[in-house]
A and B are shown apart, each in its own frame.
Chain A
Amino acid sequence: MSSVPLSAYLTLAIILFCIGLYGALTKKNTVIVLIAIELMLNAVNINLVAFSKYGMMPSIDGQIFALFAIAVAAAEAAVGLAILIAIYRNRKSVNVDDYNSLKN
């Protein structure tokens, strides 16, 4: 019997998720928004790995899901950064509020 309960890990994950969500919604710099999204994905990975040990049917599957999530997150970060560089070349700005080409 472990001394750290499942709910402690889930609480840590939701605190990190809320920090990431706040950063993604309020920060101006696009790079910071991207990395805040990475923080949210990390919180989800903590949940997956925690349930793979403490879940209803403990098995290795949760860790495999976390691995896939990490791979997809890395691909997403690369494509997001490439889009950021392309937009920066046209708009000369990294401010999220300046990216309003789709408005009107």
Chain B
Amino acid sequence: MSGEFFIFIVLSLIAIGGGIMMINLTKVVHMVVALVFTFISIAGIYVMLSAEFIAVVQILIYSGAITIMMLFGIMLTRHNDQSETSGGGLRKFLIFLAILGFGLVFYLGIYQLELGEPSTSLHENNTEQIGIALYSKYIIPFELTSVILLVALIGAIVLAKRDDEEGEERE
């Protein structure tokens, strides 16, 4: 077993373990913290795939921003701390079987997939390559992303703002 494979196994186990803990824990805050392990080990997987910039972005956005935002969402709403799953045992079991079948079908499709030789130049000046591609080939989607972020910012503020008349009546 080579070192690279060993690191891959360790990172995968942490990622899947975080996901399983998210499913099984009872307190909502613990679930979100369990997913942080998953997000950080996915960043490690990105480093193995010679995508250093994406790994840093993953740590910043997911284990930083989105986790904190979800924790705020939990704190701002009533968290009676116990998140029991919905439906009876039968419904959960049927969903589990359906997802198991889904996963098996896709696993049969990919478990022997090999497509050519891996690239050897992606890790050289990774950020520079991404920047050049973003500002030449993908300039229009890049600018459209800024529009999406602006719309999401304004939309989130408008949605979460208390309606004026309604708020005055209540207070």
Which residues of chain A have a CB within 8 Å of any CB of chain B?
1-12, 14-23, 25-29, 31-32, 34-36, 38-39, 42, 45-46, 49-61, 63-64, 66-68, 70-79, 81-86, 88-89, 92-97
Chain A interface helix/strand/loop/mixed? helix
A16-B42, A60-B122, A82-B159 are known contacts; what are 19 more A-B pairs with Cβ within 8 Å? A1-B117, A1-B118, A7-B112, A8-B8, A10-B110, A14-B107, A23-B19, A25-B95, A25-B99, A31-B73, A35-B32, A54-B118, A61-B137, A71-B148, A72-B148, A76-B152, A79-B156, A82-B155, A85-B73
| A contact residues around B8 at 8 Å (CB) | 4, 8
Which residues of chain B have a CB within 8 Å of any CB of chain A?
2, 4-5, 8, 12, 15-16, 19-20, 22-23, 28, 31-32, 35, 38-39, 42, 45-46, 48-51, 53-54, 57-58, 61-62, 65-66, 69-70, 72-74, 76-79, 83-87, 91-92, 95-96, 99-100, 102-103, 106-107, 110-119, 122, 126, 129-130, 133-134, 137-138, 141, 145, 148-149, 151-153, 155-157, 159-160, 162
A42 near B62 with CB under 8 A, answer yes
How far, in angstroms, from A42 to B159 measured CA to CA in the complex? 26
Chain B interface helix/strand/loop/mixed? helix
Q: Which 6 A-B pairs have the closest CB atoms?
A: A58-B119, A75-B152, A19-B19, A82-B156, A82-B159, A29-B83
